[in-house]
Amino acid sequence: MTATTQDTQKYTIDNAHSSAEFTVRHMVIAKVRGRFGTLTGTIEIPAGGDVPSAVAVEIDATSIDTREEQRDGHLKSADFLETDKYPTIAFVSTGTKGEGPEFTLSGLLTIHGVTHPVDIEAEYEGRGKDPWGNERIGFSGHLTINRKDYGLGWNQALETGGVLVGEEVKIELTVEAIKG
């Protein structure tokens, strides 16, 4: 990440108002949704701009929540995220394309110790001051990954055809950050 200068404004992600959610197919016939409860990071924005020049995000992989304790435990196990060994998921930007409000944020996504380049289709949502005088900025984004690319290959064949867990994972992000 580049150093902050007078021409760059630095924002810290507000975990209470941000989310990282995902959707994956289950048994070919349904979709299971989940989320990660803890994400931290920084966003740097050129003065007067709305599109980030640098983004670094870390997600606590142990904070996974699919509303099913047994499934969450399985997702934390060595069959999937192996959170004892890889407790975080990380994203570090490498560049942006577009002027906003819609833009593409390119970067390196690391899951389960495996790093691949990704593009996040993102949107600047706006900025404003909260009742306590803090300047806030908001972004949303989405991307799709293949979980097998990150070493998350566990699956179970179904008697009726297909597999228990889909390979494609759709990820949606909503981020609110505080200046300073």
Render pLDDT for 35-89 as a digit per residue (tens, 0 to 9).
999 999 999 999 888 999 999 999 999 999 999 899 899 889 998 899 999 999 9
Q: 30: how many CB neighbours lie within 10 A of its CB?
A: 8
Structure tokens at 13: 């992600």
Q: 141: how many CB neighbours lie within 10 A of its CB?
A: 20
Range of the domain at 122: 8-179
Q: Is residue 3 part of a domain?
A: no
Mean pLDDT in the chain? 89
Q: CB within 8 A of 69, min separation 6: which ones?
A: none
**Residue 6's pLDDT band (boundaries 50, 70, 90)?**
low
Residue 160 belongs to a domain with what CATH number? 2.40.128.110
Structure tokens at 117: 């380049």
Q: Is residue 128 part of a domain?
A: yes
Q: Is residue 2 part of a domain?
A: no
Query: How do residues 154-171 score in pLDDT, each as one tens digit?
Result: 666 657 766 566 777 899
**Count of domains forming the chain:** 1
Q: Is residue 162 part of a domain?
A: yes
Decide: 32 and 24 in contact? Cβ < 8 Å.
Answer: yes
Q: Is residue 120 part of a domain?
A: yes
